[in-house]
Structures are given as structure tokens and as C-alpha cells.
Chains A and B, each alone.
Chain A
């Protein structure tokens, strides 16, 4: 059963200056479903709209970010909820933290530098539950124990902790109320490899313990490989490929996914590797047709003119590329003749 359904979502940053309006098409016609109890990954280079997509689907869109079209439906134990239709900030607040939770990017600046960690825990718990001091302590202690964190961190200020510790506390904070679905925005970026592995370990533990669903956004494909069940690759505001993590890593179909995977250096392999040519396009004025065509090695005339649809090419594997269609045509012809 899908816990989250996103249909044709369009979210633009619209700014007005000197009577002219500019729109940054950060999310442009994105559809996907997240099943219950799975880890769903969203990958792509910086500036492809990953974080904007998270903001839009968690109901955090604020001007200049505007949602122009689309549906975002949550399904909590049979109760269907359209988050974009919720106009009341109070109702949204009740959802956030308790049912939907966001692990924000940049743990350095998330925690309040002049308050002890304990205060941050109090804030989030007291906003949703009416608990006594003893109940509060028991609840936090249990959660920290389960995550392998020490109770002493509660009395510290953020600056006393290392970056990895702060990130783990941010994760603990976002999951203390056992939300049904957790969105994690670049939770391992800017961390060292060992700490990064610790965070991956922690995320997996939470998922097993709370049986929650996780949407993981990061540009690091290796982290996706370590955590995700299913994966979507975004390019310039659109999903270009989606499927089971294993099939994406073993048989990537879209040229962009292949390019991303090829640019990763591997330990134990010093054969020459090249970086992806070109740079991601500006979203103010994205290229026509397939947005990847200026960087694509297989670009055809058709790619410049038409936008490829996200079509199923195998069990649960969807790709938006004309090469696939051509492959299918060739197959059909071969069968027909």
C-alpha cells in the first residue's frame, strides 16, 4: 500500500522584480509513489530540485516557492490526507513531527546554539504531547538508548559536540515521536566516512525499530546503494529514471544515470575516469525537449523537440528516454517481421 502518492507536482520559485516575474522551475511534473516500510531514495546533482521536492511534499512550501499543480496524498492507516489542501497552519503543525518528519540538511545550523540539547527535545515533545517531567525523561532515555546515544549529551550545547554527533542528535530529535514517514535531506553530506557509516547504521536501526517509511535525498549514489530499496534519479526538476535500487545500479537505462555512476571513483581501481561533461542547466530557462539533451552523448533530433515520458521498461523500472522507445520499436519490428 502506498503511504505517499505524488501526482504531476509542479513547484516553481516565482519572484517579481521591476514588474517582471521570473520563475525557477525546480520541480516540474514529478509523479511517484512511496510504499509503506520502504526506503525510497531521490538522487541527482545539486540544483536539480531534490530539496525543493521535499519541501513541497512535506507541506513546507512558502513564497517564493509556489505549488502550481499536482496532488500530494498521504495515507495514514487508511486515512487519506491531501497535504496541499490543508490551508490551516495549525493542522499542518499537528502533522509535522508526529506523522511526517523532516531531518533537515546542515545539522550545524539546525540546533539552537544557545540552548542545551535537552531544551530542543522538550520543544518538540511538548508541542505534541502533554507529558510530565518523568514521562519526558523516560521517553527520551528510551529513544537515546535504542539509538546508542549517551544521556549526557542532553546537558551539552551544540558547539561542544562534533559534527557527526550533532547529526545523530538531529536524527534522534526528528524521530522521537515515531513518525509514519521520515524525510531525510542530505543526512550524510559533509561527514567523514566513518561517521557517515555510523549515520547509515542509525537510520537503518530507526527504520527497523519504528517500522517507519523513509524518503532519503542525497547526491551521493554510494549512500543510496547502502540504504535504499527503490531509487529515483532527478535531473533538472524531473525524474528521469526510477526503479529497484539493485536494478538501477546493475542495469542503468538512462544516459544520465550511467554518467553519474561512471563518474564515481572506486577504491582499488585507478583506471582513468572522467567527470560528467558540462554542468546542470539553469532552471530559469531549461533546455527544450529532454532537459538532458545538451549533455547527452546519444542526443538525437527528437530529444531537442519533444519531452520524453517516464515509461515502464521492466518490472517497476521506469525511464524517461527516447532511446528506450527506439529500442522497443526495434524489438516490435523484429517480432513483426
Chain B
């Protein structure tokens, strides 16, 4: 039943507990999230949302770093619970992390990560590393640019591209990129973002792109899921969702993206969430506290997903 899918996740839930005994409290960091990626057609799937919306937790669940409280993930038709930690899975699914300066140990040369990965996964002999050079070329770097260098000797943009090159050594089918451009200067962001686009088109790599930057998401992705406090509130093709957002939260996100035009300034004030935990534990719709179109029903019952205009929206407005 899962054939034809590269990745399939259904009803993923992750509950974190805090404290013990009487002061114990729980937070559903990810709540009944489902997504799937096709095997035949590589695509870039974006998870977008504010910090604390559970985006990174979803990434950790898919990578097998955390076990879901309930729900299942299949990779090429096989459950991830059995696959994680196997060489085959690690070779196929590779992560790219947010801060390249934290990805690499400052006391180790950058090249050692490449050599290690190549030895472990491709079985190259000591001293010859053809794949390292090839993958560096893919990201527009030269081996001489990283040779004998420590992370502190490289710029953030270069290092992030090196981090992606390292992930490409094993020739993965799926990249999980957690905020890969948020630490890079706006002017250099496009080099990384364009790289993802070419990887998808030329190397047929599927990418789960996690970001809060809707402008780059619009630029590269095929589908997008907007996350709010652990839930997907709107899922669909990126053009549909961002050109004409239906969920009030997506509308707020879209209008908050600053466009570089001094003639249009934000005139109306918006309500900000005060404490994250208050929204996580809210009954009914998690956005009800900030929503400009809030109704009585929103505070009482959790909305269902409604299929409107080729997408899923979790909002009472469309029931």
C-alpha cells in the first residue's frame, strides 16, 4: 500500500512532558501531522511557521532522532522505527542543519567530515576521495577552498554550502534542511536556495525545507504546509497557498513578510502571542487568541480539515 511513496507519515504526534508528579505538564509539540512524498517525482516540500511551531520536531521524527508518541512513518514502504540507525537509511536520508558554525566542530578541519562520510558510506580507500570533490563541485565550491581549513576560516555562506556538500556525498534521495538559510546574509541566501532547486532538478533529490522565510519558500518549493503550534493549518501547492491564503494565520504570515518597498508600510497593528505554552494548551483552534475573525465556535471545538480550492485548511470558516 505504501509503494510509490518515498516518505509517508500519518497522524504523527509527539508529546513532551515537563516536570514530575503534581507539577507535570504536557505539550503536544506535533499533533496529528500527515505528509507524503512521491517516489517518482522529486519535490521540495516546505514546512513553514513561527519558532516553536514544531517544525524542527517533525524533522527529528523523520530522521529518527526522536520516536513519535503515536503515528507511523514509512520510508520506501518500510517503517522508520526498524530502519533508523541502519547504514542504508542514513545513506539515503541526510540532514542539513541551521547554523553551519555549530554543525562543524571548530577544532576539526572541515575536510575531515567529508573524508569520514566518504570512507563510511562509499567505502573509498584512505587517501583518495573522488566523491568529496564531486559533491563540492555540485555546490559551487572547490576542494582547494576547504583544504586544511577550520570552520572559523570560512564564511557562513561557504560553510553552509560545504555542509550541504557533505550531505550529498552519500547520494541521498531525501534531504532534510532545517532553516538552512536563516543564519546567512540576505544577499548570499539565494546561492543556497538556488542550489536546492538544481539539486531537485538535476540530481532528483527530494527536499523537506524547513523555514520561516516565506519568500524563499515561494521561490523554490512545490508544496507547503503552514504549521501552528504543532498542527498543519493549511497544506497545498505553494502557489495556491501563498498567492491566495485561506487560513487567517497564513494570511497574517503572508502580510508580515516585509517587502522591500518603502511606500507600503504596515499600518494596522497586529496581536502577538504572549506565551507559547498558553497557545499550545488552548482548547479549540490554537489561533483563536489572535485571530481577527474569531467566532464562538473557535474556542470550543477543534476545527477539522476542509478541502477547499485544491488544499486542506484547518479552520471553522470553511466548514
The chain A residues found within 8 Å of chain B, CB to CB, are 45-46, 150, 161-165, 190, 192-198, 200-201, 219-228, 245-246, 249, 259-261, 263-270, 272-276, 279
Contacts and interface: CB of A to CB of B under 8 A. Distances in A.
A247 B262 CA distance: 9
A263 B256 contact: no
A165 to B, nearest CB: 7
B274 A197 contact: no
B310 interface: no
A45 B187 contact: yes
A275 B191 contact: yes
B274 A245 contact: no
Contacts of A195: 50, 272
Contact of B187 (A161, A260, A269): A260
Nearest to A201: B269
Given A265-B193, A268-B243, A222 B270 contact: no
B260 interface: yes
Contacts of B156: 46
Interface residues of B, number: 47
B266 A225 contact: no
A274 B260 CA distance: 17
Q: Which of A162, A193, A245 counts the most chain B CB atoms within 10 A?
A: A193
Given A201-B270, A263-B188, A279-B158, 10 more contacts: A150-B274, A162-B51, A162-B273, A163-B51, A164-B272, A165-B275, A193-B213, A198-B272, A219-B186, A267-B259
Contact of B190 (A196, A221, A275): A275
Contacts of A264: 186, 215, 260
Interface string B152-172: 000111100000000000000
16 contacts: A46-B185, A150-B274, A162-B51, A193-B257, A194-B272, A224-B262, A225-B259, A225-B261, A225-B262, A246-B262, A249-B261, A263-B187, A267-B242, A267-B257, A274-B190, A276-B188
B214 A197 contact: no
B218 interface: yes
B260 A249 contact: yes
A259 to B, nearest CB: 7
Contacts of A224: 260, 262
Given A194-B272, A198-B272, A225-B261, A267 B190 contact: no
A194 B252 contact: yes
A38 B250 CA distance: 33
B254 A267 contact: yes
Interface in B245-268: 252-254, 256-263, 265-266
B276 interface: yes
A162 B276 contact: yes
B170 to A, nearest CB: 26
Contact of B270 (A46, A194, A263): A194
B3 interface: no
Nearest 9 A/B pairs, CB to CB: A222-B258, A275-B190, A275-B191, A192-B50, A197-B256, A265-B215, A276-B187, A193-B256, A245-B262
B194 interface: yes
Nearest to A197: B256
Q: Which of B186, B220, B263, B269 counts the most chain A CB atoms within 10 A?
A: B186
Interface in B160-211: 182, 185-191, 193-194
Nearest to B195: A275
B155 A279 contact: yes
Contacts of B260: 221-222, 224-225, 249, 261, 264, 266
B216 interface: yes
B16 interface: no
A129 to B, nearest CB: 29
A164 B194 CA distance: 30
